[in-house]
Amino acid sequence: MVKNVFIDIDDTLFPTSEFAELARRKAIRAMIEVGLDGDQEKLYGKLLKIIKKKGPNYDHHFDELCKELKLKHPAKYVAAAVGAYHAAKGAIQPYPEVPRTLMKLRESGYLLYIATNGTAVKQWDKLILLGVHIFFEEVFVSETMGMEKNVKFFRKALKHIGAKPENCVMVGDKPSIDLFPPKKLGMKTIRAMMGGRHTIKPGKADFEMKNFSELPKLLKKI
């Protein structure tokens, strides 16, 4: 019987992409507010290019943008951008059904775990801001695990909690990391389809859900 539920964070517990866009747009607007001349949309486009080039976990996107724009006093613009960005990021909210669904799962006797790619402090920050960290027994982050979410990652996590794959399910949005590796190991899988972009590709999960509140019902079916 499935007792252990592993859950992804980004685009599963909250609409990451949506908030990231909002935060980046607010940052650009803040730069203009403190005196930057330029078109909002064009500046946003430049920023996206830098993020694509440097990766989303790079810490100096706005410094890069200032460098590209050849700004004489970058500190002013970096301060404005980073401040606005973090203020917006601090306002992240879970998909509205998430907190009570997690509570319900706990009450039904499931053990909940986080399995996520990213840096430990940033992922913990999200869990705390979302107000859902209290529901989880353990949080497995790729940085601390020493590897991204792959078969080995899940084997290590299962060993750590002393569970067999057949008693575990993974819930996440990205097939390549949230579905295929756990499936290979013999775990069950549920695909989170809340992010609009995921409706395009076909899923290979045991189940799909369009709303987080479907989770208790689906778990009973497994």
Binding site for its own copies (CB under 8 A): 30, 34, 73, 75-76, 78-80, 82-83, 86-87, 90, 120-125, 127-129, 133, 139, 141, 144
Comparing CB distances to its own copies, the nearer of 45 and 131 is: 131
Token representation of residue 80: 């404005």
Neighbouring residues of 83: CB distance < 8 A, sequence distance ≥ 6: 30
Best CA proximity match to 97, nearest among 210, 188, 16? 210
Comparing CB distances to its own copies, the nearer of 131 and 196 is: 131
Q: Which residue has the tokens 């499931």?
A: 110
- To the nearest whole angstrom, how small is the minimum distance from the Cβ of residue 80 to its own copies? 5
First to last CA, the chain: 8
Comparing CB distances to its own copies, the nearer of 59 and 107 is: 59
- To the nearest whole angstrom, how small is the minimum distance from the Cβ of residue 182 to its own copies? 23
Using DSSP, state whether 14 is helix, strand or coil: strand
Token representation of residue 211: 């709303």
- To the nearest whole angstrom, how small is the minimum distance from the Cβ of residue 12 to its own copies? 19
- To the nearest whole angstrom, how small is the minimum distance from the Cβ of residue 147 to its own copies? 16
Comparing CB distances to its own copies, the nearer of 103 and 134 is: 134
Task: For residues 50 and 167, give the distance between their C-alpha atoms in angstroms, rounded to a whole number.
Answer: 43
Please, are residues 181 and 115 in contact by the beta-carbon 8 Å criterion? no
- To the nearest whole angstrom, how small is the minimum distance from the Cβ of residue 157 to its own copies? 14
Comparing CB distances to its own copies, the nearer of 74 and 203 is: 74
Amino acid at 147: M
- To the nearest whole angstrom, how small is the minimum distance from the Cβ of residue 128 to its own copies? 5
Please, are residues 86 and 62 in contact by the beta-carbon 8 Å criterion? no
Using DSSP, state whether 114 is helix, strand or coil: strand
Comparing CB distances to its own copies, the nearer of 33 and 166 is: 33
